[in-house]
């Protein structure tokens, strides 16, 4: 079977994580939850107030993460936004 994992075009600088609004919050909030669930609402609320949302979203795309909430978007939203 062929390995289809995506190798990032660049390796993001992880220093932005020091400024992430999610730092110290329960990690399970960012795991893919059903749309409209309490977990998704909590995570998205934190994301919307974060100053490093763009960096988080860039990293999600760089690593092909389509299963967690990142950069204020869930995996389905990022999948639809992805370019071929």
Nearest to 62 by CA among 3, 16, 9, 17: 9
| pLDDT, tens digit only, all 84 positions of the chain | 454 555 555 556 778 888 999 998 888 888 867 778 888 888 999 999 999 999 999 888 888 888 889 999 988 888 888 765
Instruction: Identify whether the C-beta of residue 16 lies closer than 8 Å to the C-beta of residue 52.
Output: yes
pTM of the model: 0.75
Where do the domains of the chain lie?
27-81
């Amino acid at each position: 079977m062929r390995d289809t994992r995506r190798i990032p075009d660049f390796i993001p600088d992880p220093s932005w994580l020091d400024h992430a609004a999610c730092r110290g919050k329960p990690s399970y909030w960012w795991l893919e939850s059903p749309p409209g669930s309490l977990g998704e609402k909590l995570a998205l609320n934190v994301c919307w107030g974060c100053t490093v949302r763009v960096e988080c979203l860039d990293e999600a795309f760089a690593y092909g993460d389509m299963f967690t909430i990142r950069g204020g978007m869930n995996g389905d939203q990022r999948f639809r936004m992805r370019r071929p």
